[in-house]
Amino acid sequence: MNIINRSTNMVRICVVSVLLLSGLTACQQKKASFNESYVEVSPENPFYFCLSNGDTYIPVGLNMVHSYNDMALMELWMKNLSENGGNYIRIWLGHEMFEYEKVYGKVNEEQIAKVDKVLEMAGKYGIKVKMCMENFREITPDPGRNRKTAYHVDNGGPFTSMDDYMADDRGQKVFLDRAKFFKNRYGDDPRVFAWELWNEMNAIGISYEDRDRLLIPWNAAVLSKMQEIFPKNLITQSLGSMDKTRSFPHYEGIMRIPENDFIQVHRYLDEGAELPICQAPMDVLAADAINHMRSYGVHKPVLLAETGGVEPSHSGPHRAYEKDHDGMILHDLLFAPYFTGSAGPGHAWHWDVYVDKNNLWYHFRRFSNAVGGLDPVKEGFVPLRADQSGFRVYVLKGKNNSLVWARDTANTWRTELIDGVEPSLRSRVSLDLSDVLKGCNLSKVEIYDPWMDQWTSGKASALVTLPDFKRSIVLKIKH
């Protein structure tokens, strides 16, 4: 059953408005509140999300998969995100902080109570939570990173290895029994953004040949059954960083499954990656990931659901973070996906050692300020490019308004954060948008500097003269 059928099973009158700020008050005329409303794929424009109350929903946030077993710290992060326009996080239910099944078949109430608390805080701060059900890659008797020891026969579990888990329907049954536990615990909870099957399932510890043979049919079967278990919540899957050609068939096969409600891609700045695009400027690698997902021709929302910078082969946070006190990497990963046609900004990893450590929460507010007031569903945004000398120019052309993000090509993570070259002040720059806005009767141009958090007015012309700025600038054009 596809999401459009699931999301239109009730007759309703939709009064659509953009939800960029967290914790919005209940709408008038008895319309359901943000906390009472489920996230759906928009039946009006399937490249974007809406709420069951009719409001457009842009998921502004990041990964926040655990907080070192410190619930007070988790609340502080959620509060900081909410106060800066955020309305979305992702957690791992299989992380040791939240895993309720420390012993196979037994519920640890102390553990699951922490998940209860996260959802309680989500309601408090106006945040939707993507619940990633599993993240293990090995089934072994001994503990270690991304290992599921409770499932091993030596510890009372039913499996001898990851191969054993994937060998037949027993693994699917155990997974779906876990899903039914969460359904019984949380019902159809509107605080849940979506149920995500697995973190990067194509990285599990079985052979490449078995991954090629098993992953797509396994996901097709489980996604279909998950739709039955959670009829009111979205269902999705995630795969590892798109940094090698071998990942392409898995991505296309799984993201095309009809019961996969929306498309997700992971991609990182990684100087050890096989694909050269992973060493490109942050906006380029992010935009390319979204374009690749949209090239499948599937009419679903697309999200860059994990991104950021890593040392070669994901051996740790990228060294550039230490110098990125202005949040240049975060800015680019937020803006580039949305301006390439994603249903939201990119969702950063390293929420702790990068975003929080460098106190970069304000960037979520700056993104919200830049795109707020324009409803992507009603505008029917079409992503275009209008690159010109010295700038990559990303355009979202709408029915009545367009958004433009211009990025200085001379300023990159490498030049600024590795080579130590300060971003240049760009003066007397004019952008020629006549090709992408051909036939539009322009009536108003507003210009936003996301680094200064400042709006100015421009001349209503397709040739726009910009105020002085560094790194990037945003235009909101009424036509």
Torsions phi, psi for 283 (to 5 deg) = -65, -35
The CA distance from 14 to 29, in Å, is 12
Task: List, in sequence order, the alpha helices (H) in 152-281.
Answer: 162-167, 169-186, 208-229, 247-255
* Residue 3: per-residue pLDDT: 40
Strands 430-432 and 391-397: unpaired
Sign of CA dihedral 27, 32, 35, 39: negative
Question: What 8-state DSSP symbol labels residue 323?
Answer: G
Classify 383-478 by CATH class. mainly beta
* Residue 355: per-residue pLDDT: 98
Distances (CA, A) of 294 to 62, 129, 261, 288, 407: 21, 24, 14, 10, 22
CB 473 within 8 A of CB 448: yes
Task: List, in sequence order, the alpha helices (H) in 411-476.
Answer: 413
Domain boundaries, the chain: 60-379, 383-478
Decide if pLDDT at 22 tops 90.
no
**Cα–Cα–Cα angle for 14, 20, 24, rounded to 5 degrees:** 70
> pLDDT for 63-116, tens place per residue?
999 999 999 999 999 999 999 999 999 999 999 999 999 999 999 999 999 999
CB 94 within 8 A of CB 238: no
> pLDDT for 122-147, tens place per residue?
999 999 999 999 999 999 999 999 99
Decide if pLDDT at 20 tops 90.
no
* Residue 30: per-residue pLDDT: 77
Decide if pLDDT at 391 tops 80.
yes
Start-to-end CA distance of the chain, whole Å, equals: 39
User: Which residue bears the tokens 């946070």?
Assistant: 317
Both tokens assigned to 126: 């106006």
* Residue 29: per-residue pLDDT: 55
* Residue 19: per-residue pLDDT: 44
User: Which residue bears the tokens 């922490």?
Assistant: 114
Decide if pLDDT at 324 tops 50.
yes
Strands 430-432 and 463-465: antiparallel
CB 87 within 8 A of CB 39: no
The crossing angle, in degrees rounded to 10, of helices 328-338 and 362-371 is 30
Considering the four listed CATH numbers 3.40.50.1240, 2.30.40.10, 3.20.20.80, 3.40.50.300, the one that applies to the domain covering 60-379 is 3.20.20.80
Decide if pLDDT at 270 tops 60.
yes
Element (H, E) at 130: strand 128-134
User: Which residue bears the tokens 């906006």?
Assistant: 283
* Residue 18: per-residue pLDDT: 44
Residue 313 burial by Cβ neighbours in a 10 Å radius (0-12, 13-18, 19+): exposed
CB 355 within 8 A of CB 69: no
Decide if pLDDT at 9 tops 90.
no
Element (H, E) at 396: strand 391-397
Quote the percentage of the chain above a pLDDT of 90. 93
Arithmetic mean of pLDDT, 369-396 = 98
Mean pLDDT of the chain: 94
